[in-house]
Amino acid sequence: MYFFISLPVDSRTSAINLLTHLKKHRLDVFKLNVPINHWSSFGSMIELTEQLDGLCRQVLDLFNKLLTVDRDFVKSPSFVKNVDLNNKIERFVWPGDKYPRAALNDMFETFVDELALIRKNFELRSANYERSKRKMEDIRRRKNGTLREVDLANLVTQNDDFEFLEYFYVLIDRNERLENVDVEDLICVKEIAGDEEQRLVQCLGLRSKREHIEKQLAAKKYIVKRFESTNEDVDRIAIDFSVVEKGYFTFIDTYLLETFDLLLCVKLTKLYVDSVLQYGLPNSYIFLGSKDKSMDNVVRRWIKALKNFDFGNRVVDYKAFDERVAYNSVEEVLVDGNQ
């Protein structure tokens, strides 16, 4: 499990001393480059941290939805398009071209717009993919499905009917005997095919009695299969579906990585706002990443490591890295591996 941690420093020297101190306590950390240094009134920042918390949940919800349909991630957890998400965290680089330095409220609106764009594209592409998939599955069922589903033309060759007689193709229960199919003006000739539930029987009946015969069959819960004319180009539909499917999963991979970047940026921005509210404005902040088993474990280890550490005279309202301060300084990011 990964965590982002923010700590106040009053100078570059203080930041170096902090990193050296953590290494002495054998805390495996990596430094994050977070170019956020804007602030507004405390009232608006309190409101903003609540908005960022809600946005985090929305981004994470979309991220999880994308994960459920990403085939590569299912096969190899934590990997997307050969990109290791764990490595992406540890070597995080703020995407300044997409999220340039700006006032916090403006940055928040940029995050909201990006989330809305990804969600809209995901919904549109998913709907298009599902339509194409349903059409392809329908073709597969009509070709290789159950007797009820498969096209009659894939089971028998359409023969010319006689002048006064015509063929009827009837589905009966698997365990029913042909001679028990008692329908006036209809004779069962032979069984054409069978599956686990039904049998397809070829029958002959009077052409002039077609309506009467079909009513009798329907009353006895038999199903009459008919030859259906279709102008569908099955090969073209299969090619179209292949193109749509490939494009869809390429899109999923791409936007999964985009959403992950967005998630990290939102969490780091929230951590920055929480840091300002926690430690005050006249400070700089160092952002670190750490890997551990749980939030409680992180807090215990960091309290022990930072006990009595001198953060500098410019750190406002800071006395000790106690449990309350620690929990406000840590942001959970991602559970790695299968979780």
Lowest mean pLDDT among 144-158, 251-265, 293-307: 293-307
Which residue from 132, 128, 139 is spatially nearest to 240, judged by alpha carbons? Answer: 132
Query: How far is residue 242 from each of residues 70, 136, 239, 253, 314, measured CA to CA in Å?
Result: 16, 10, 5, 17, 62
CATH architecture entry for 2-135+238-333: Up-down Bundle (1.20)
The predicted-structure confidence for 236-286, as pLDDT tens digits, reads as follows 777 788 888 889 988 998 999 999 999 999 999 998 888 888 777 656 788
φ/ψ of 131, rounded to 5, equals -60, -50
**How many other C-beta atoms are found inside a 10 Å radius of the C-beta of residue 316?**
14
Domain boundaries, the chain: 2-135+238-333, 152-225
Query: How far is residue 214 from each of residues 148, 160, 211, measured CA to CA in Å?
Result: 17, 19, 5
Distance in angstroms (rounded) separating the CA atoms of residues 143 and 145: 6
Domain 152-225 sits in CATH at 3.30.70.100
Distance in angstroms (rounded) separating the CA atoms of residues 51 and 269: 11
The predicted-structure confidence for 88-124, as pLDDT tens digits, reads as follows 888 888 888 888 877 888 889 999 999 999 999 999 9
In the DSSP assignment, the letter for residue 111 is H
Helix-strand-coil percent breakdown of the chain, rounded to 5?
50, 20, 30
φ/ψ of 27, rounded to 5, equals -90, 120
Q: Which amino acid is at 28?
A: D
Distance in angstroms (rounded) separating the CA atoms of residues 233 and 306: 70
Sign, CA torsion 66/87/84/74: negative
Evaluate if pTM is beyond 0.85.
Answer: no
